[in-house]
């Protein structure tokens, strides 16, 4: 005697005990969640006027849709608070960007995201400068600018991902000193610091509803 075959709605599954239950993919869930630390924080930031600048964070992550239903994915970028010090009249700016690519199920060659921040295209930037002038012999007046920028989150929707598709994300963050850069800032006592700490990257998978029957 063969067991009967029953079609299930996309949000249902049969567990190893043979009982009907909600499928694990029936609700939004974290499928990737990583913290990437900055490897370039410094209390002695030197002149860095060539873009993209000094690399702080470089992280890649991915998720393969191992469910029988199509998903959209929300990427969340949470930047820890950032701190910097600039000396009159110089500037400091943090820049970041992420890119993504989807490889379809059955494709033998994986599709990779493009390298972030190889151009002026970016997702976020923050920074500051101070300019309180010079003295009678054109030396910058003494002055330093302290700044703290709070934790913030940016999100982007990616997809859709069909069953078996793989999503890859590549994130990078840099810091640079936009020109012109004065080597005698703060009246010949320059001090420049830059601290990003870390970034948290999260992929949250959201199942699409009403388009699948699991046999």
Q: What is the pLDDT of residues 122-180, one digit of tens each?
A: 899 999 998 888 888 888 999 999 999 999 999 999 999 999 999 999 999 999 999 99
Q: What is the CA radius of gyration of the chain?
A: 24
pLDDT the model gives residue 192: 96
Rounded Cα distance between 111 and 100, Å, is: 9
Q: Please, are residues 148 and 21 in contact by the beta-carbon 8 Å criterion? A: no
pLDDT the model gives residue 57: 97
Instruction: Please give the span between the terminal C-alpha atoms of the chain, in angstroms, as a whole number.
Output: 20
**Low-confidence residues of the chain: pLDDT under 70:** 1-6, 119, 210-215
pLDDT the model gives residue 191: 94
pLDDT the model gives residue 200: 98
Q: Please, are residues 178 and 49 in contact by the beta-carbon 8 Å criterion? A: yes
């Amino acid at each position: 005697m063969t067991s009967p075959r029953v079609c299930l709605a996309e949000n249902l599954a049969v567990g190893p005990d043979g009982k009907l239950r909600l499928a694990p993919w029936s609700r939004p869930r974290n499928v990737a969640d990583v913290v990437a630390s900055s490897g370039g924080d410094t209390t002695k930031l030197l002149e860095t006027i060539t873009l993209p600048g000094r690399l702080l964070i470089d992280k890649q992550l991915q998720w393969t849709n191992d469910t029988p239903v199509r998903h959209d994915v929300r990427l969340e970028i949470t930047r820890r608070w950032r701190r910097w010090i600039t000396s009159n009249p110089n500037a400091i700016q943090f820049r970041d960007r992420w890119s993504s690519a989807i490889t379809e199920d059955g494709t033998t060659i994986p599709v990779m995201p493009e390298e972030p921040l190889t151009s002026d295209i970016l997702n976020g930037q923050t920074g500051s400068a101070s300019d309180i002038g010079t003295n009678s012999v054109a030396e910058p007046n003494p002055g330093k600018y302290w700044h703290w920028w709070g934790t913030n989150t940016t999100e982007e929707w990616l997809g859709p991902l069909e069953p078996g598709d793989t999503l890859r994300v590549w994130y990078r963050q840099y810091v640079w000193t936009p020109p012109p850069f004065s080597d005698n800032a703060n009246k010949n006592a320059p001090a420049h610091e830059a601290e990003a700490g870390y970034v948290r990257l999260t992929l949250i998978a959201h199942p699409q509803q009403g388009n699948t029957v699991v046999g």
